[in-house]
C-alpha cells in the first residue's frame, strides 16, 4: 500500500508536470488544482507543505528565465561555485563527503565478487528509493517504481556481490539528507564503481551547490577535458547515486532542464524544490 507521503508526491509531480508543460501560459492556482483533482485550498496547502513555498512562487523557479539567470549570474565555473554559501553554510553536499573511494580494479572487473552489499527501500520527497552500501560507503541509490525491478537493477551493477536486505548506519546517514538540517548530518562516504574519468565527473557534480545549475560543457572544462562534452554526458547519465551525486543540477546550455535518468518531471521537481529551500534561507 502506498503511504500518504508517496501519494502526495505523485500529486505534486502531476502538478509540476502540468506547470512545466504550460508555464508560458502562467496557469493560476484554480487551474492547476483542478488538474490534480484537489480544491484550490487543499492544493495550496499540500504544495506549500511539500515545497515550502506557494505554487505561484514555485512556478517562477521552473521558468526558463530562472535557469538562464542561474547559469548567467551564478555559474562561472564549478571551482568558483563550490565556494558559494547556501543553507547557512552547509548548502554544498561536497561538505559532507569526506572521500569518494573508487573500487579496486579487482572489484571493478569481477562485478563485486568480494563485496557484501546491504540494501533497503525508503521514502523520499521525490518518491520511493533503493539505497545500497558496502562497508566503505554508499555504492548505489535510485528512485524506484517496483521493488523487484529495482533490486534486479542493483544486482546488474554488482552481479557477483553478496546481498542482504537491511538498513545500516551508512544508509541512515545518507537518507537523513532528505529530512535533516545538513549541518547536523554525519559524514557521507561513497564507494563507487567507475573509471577514473567517471569518478572525476561525479566529484565535479558534488561540487555544484544546492540551488545552482551547470552545463555539460562547464563540467568538461572543470575536469580539464574541454572537448569531452559527450563523454561527460555519458558519465552524468551513468551516475549510480541519485540525488547525493546531484546530476539533476546539470541542464542544457539553453537553460532548458533536459532529460533525467529517473524522469524529467522528477528532475524538474528537484530543481524547484532546492531553489525553494535556498530562497527560504537567503
| CA gap 40, 179 in Å, rounded | 27
DSSP annotation of 249 = G
Query: Which element (helix H / strand E) includes 119?
Result: strand 116-124
Phi, psi of 69 (to 5 degrees): -65, -40
**247 classed as catalytic:** yes
- Count of CB atoms situated within 10 Å of the CB of 218: 22
Contact 248, 255 (CB under 8 A): no
Contact 183, 88 (CB under 8 A): yes
Buried b / exposed e over 231-240, threshold 16 CB at 10 Å, is bbbebbeebb
- Chain center to CA of 30: 30
Phi, psi of 35 (to 5 degrees): -65, -25
SS3 call for 238: coil
- Grid cell locating 188: 557521507
Coarse DSSP helix, strand, coil percentages of the chain, rounded to the nearest 5 percent: 50, 15, 35
| CA gap 15, 17 in Å, rounded | 5
Query: Which element (helix H / strand E) includes 218?
Result: helix 216-222
- Which residue among the candidates 71, 117, 141, 247 is catalytic per the annotation? 247
| CA gap 132, 130 in Å, rounded | 7
Catalytic positions, please?
247
Amino acid at each position: 500500500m502506498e503511504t500518504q507521503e508517496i501519494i502526495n508526491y505523485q500529486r505534486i509531480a502531476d502538478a509540476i508536470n502540468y506547470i512545466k508543460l504550460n508555464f508560458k501560459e502562467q496557469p493560476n492556482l484554480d487551474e492547476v488544482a483542478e488538474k490534480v483533482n484537489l480544491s484550490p485550498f487543499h492544493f495550496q496547502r499540500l504544495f506549500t507543505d511539500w515545497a515550502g513555498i506557494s505554487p505561484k512562487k514555485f512556478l517562477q523557479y521552473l521558468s526558463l528565465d530562472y535557469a538562464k539567470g542561474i547559469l548567467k549570474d551564478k555559474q562561472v565555473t564549478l571551482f568558483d561555485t563550490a565556494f558559494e554559501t547556501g543553507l547557512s553554510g552547509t548548502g554544498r553536499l561536497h561538505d559532507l563527503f569526506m572521500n569518494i573511494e573508487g573500487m579496486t580494479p579487482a572489484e571493478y572487473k569481477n562485478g563485486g565478487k568480494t563485496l557484501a552489499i546491504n540494501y533497503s527501500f525508503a521514502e523520499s520527497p521525490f518518491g520511493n528509493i533503493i539505497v545500497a552500501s558496502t562497508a566503505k560507503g554508499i555504492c548505489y541509490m535510485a528512485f524506484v517504481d517496483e521493488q523487484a525491478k529495482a533490486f534486479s537493477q542493483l544486482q546488474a551493477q554488482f552481479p557477483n556481490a553478496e546481498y542482504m536486505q537491511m538498513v545500516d548506519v551508512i544508509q541512515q546517514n545518507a537518507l537523513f539528507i532528505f529530512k535533516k538540517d545538513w549541518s547536523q548530518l554525519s559524514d557521507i562516504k561513497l564507494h563507487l564503481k567507475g573509471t577514473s574519468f567517471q569518478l572525476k565527473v561525479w566529484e565535479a557534480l558534488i561540487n555544484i551547490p544546492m540551488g545552482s545549475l551547470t552545463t555539460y560543457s562547464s563540467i568538461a572544462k572543470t575536469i580539464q577535458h574541454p572537448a569531452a562534452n559527450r563523454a561527460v554526458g555519458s558519465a552524468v547519465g551513468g551516475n549510480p547515486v541519485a540525488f547525493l551525486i546531484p546530476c539533476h543540477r546539470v541542464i542544457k546550455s539553453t537553460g532548458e532542464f533536459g532529460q533525467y535518468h529517473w524522469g524529467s518531471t522528477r528532475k524538474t521537481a528537484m530543481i524547484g524544490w532546492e531553489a525553494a529551500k535556498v530562497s527560504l534561507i537567503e
